[in-house]
Amino acid sequence: MKRRIILICIAVVLAAGSVFAQTAAPTASRKAGTKQVQKQGCRANKKLGVKALLQKLDLTADQKIKIRAICKEAAARIKAVKADKSLTPAQAKVNIKGVRKAEWAQVKQVLTPAQLQKLRALMKNRRK
């Protein structure tokens, strides 16, 4: 009789543990996903990056094509920097930062003054 009670208690504890584990896991994965998205920048960042900001600017088809080309070219340059084993990690970081800065400069040249003003406001709000 005692064995059955102990087995039932163990089964209840295991079942309750699995229920709590299922409800807690999605929030942790969402937080990890957000951190990963922040690191990806222009390429795939759907919530915080260049593409998300640019979607809010009502771009023309021509502007979208130009900006996609700029992002692809920047991604290729960053990939080349990461593949270059002759660079130290600090040098690679500096080079990647330069590529990102040049990417933003090119993107800003494609935008109209009104879009640029709206972009600055969006970026300012994003930093808060």
Q: Which domain holds residue 61?
A: 41-128
Is the same domain home to 48 and 105?
A: yes
Are 82 and 45 in a shared domain?
Answer: yes
**Predicted confidence (pLDDT) per residue in 68-90, tens digit:** 899 899 999 999 999 999 999 99
Decide if 51 contacts 57 (C-beta within 8 A).
no
How many domains does the chain contain in total? 2
State residue 113's pLDDT score.
Answer: 93
pLDDT of 32 > 60? The answer is no
Q: What is the pTM of this model?
A: 0.58
Are 117 and 54 in a shared domain?
yes
Dihedral, CA atoms, 100, 101, 106, 108, nearest 10 degrees? 110
